[in-house]
Amino acid sequence: MEDLSNYRKSYEKSELLETNIPEDPIMLFKKWFHEVEDFGGVEEVNAMTVSTIGLDGFPKARVVLLKQFTYEGFIFYTNYDSEKGRAIANNPNVCLSFFWHSLERQIIIKGRVRKIAENLSDGYFESRPDGSKLGAIVSNQSEVIASRTVLEEKLKQLEADCVGKEILRPKNWGGYIVEPQEVEFWQGRPNRLHDRIRYKLNTDFSWKIERLAP
């Protein structure tokens, strides 16, 4: 047995107080994101966990990269026919989460997800290096494949076919935007008395701000 019960740490890096927060969670997200970036020590600050409710009834979480965020929501790119894509088509309620250990921070976002406009996905696909474009085309993400060799052969073939040609976005690859309904900011504090501030979207699109017990 590996006993991890003595893995324990006191959280002392920061605090989150009602007197010092904006009315809008996106503003606070932006502030935290850049503070974590500037502090250093987190390799991919934009890596986030996306949880979906699958067709099998189980939740499933996996890491993707946040590529844009605006007052409307959080955008990531993926294969629309993947396991997550199929889960989303069936149930658009998702959860995003970030854990930034350097500043002892966690953000949990519940929201509804929808595909972004095709021209926006085209624009982002166009900006990717050729290798990433071809990778997105050859991979039927989440499908069972016979071997790695099959994938590599497919890529080689596609590379040969595409020489001198424009590589277009496959229709089953593109962006999703998660429109937040609830955003919880968690700041680690000493003695397990962590700060938790939750923003909940009101029907008039203002945000209700509440403190939660740690």
| Residues whose CB is less than 8 angstroms from the CB of residue 207 and which lie 6 or more positions away in sequence, other chains included | 23, 24, 25, 199, 200, 201
Select the span of 7-15, 76-84, 98-106, 193-201 touching ligand FMN (CB under 6 A).
76-84
Task: Give the other-Cβ count within 10 Å of 173's Cβ.
Answer: 21
The verdict on whether residue 64 carries a ligand-binding annotation is yes
The verdict on whether residue 157 carries a ligand-binding annotation is no
Q: Does 155 bind ligand FMN (CB under 6 A)?
A: no
Distance between CA 96 and CA 73 in Å, rounded? 11
The verdict on whether residue 49 carries a ligand-binding annotation is no
Question: Cβ of residue 4: shortest distance to ligand FMN, in angstroms?
Answer: 23
* Angle, vertex CA 14, rays to CA 67 and CA 102, nearest 5: 50
Q: Does 84 bind ligand FMN (CB under 6 A)?
A: yes
* Angle, vertex CA 80, rays to CA 74 and CA 86, nearest 5: 100
Q: Does 47 bind ligand FMN (CB under 6 A)?
A: yes
Distance between CA 29 and CA 47 in Å, rounded? 14
Distance between CA 96 and CA 181 in Å, rounded? 11
Distance between CA 214 and CA 198 in Å, rounded? 12
Smallest Cα–Cα separation from 82: which of 33, 151, 132, 140? 140
Does 114 participate in catalysis according to the annotation? no
Query: Quick one: 64 or 209, whose CB is closer to ligand FMN?
Result: 64
Binding residue (CB under 6 A) for ligand FMN from 34, 62, 192, 211 = 62
Query: Quick one: 174 or 188, whose CB is closer to ligand FMN?
Result: 174
Which run of H or E residues covers position 68? strand 68-69
Query: Quick one: 65 or 193, whose CB is closer to ligand FMN?
Result: 65
Binding residue (CB under 6 A) for ligand FMN from 60, 156, 171, 211 = 60
The verdict on whether residue 71 carries a ligand-binding annotation is no
DSSP for residue 120? H
The verdict on whether residue 94 carries a ligand-binding annotation is no
Residues assigned a catalytic role: 192
Site for ligand FMN, rule CB under 6 A: 44, 47, 60, 62-65, 76-79, 82-84, 141-142
Q: Which residues are annotated as a binding site for FMN?
A: 62-67, 77-78, 84, 106, 141-142, 186, 196
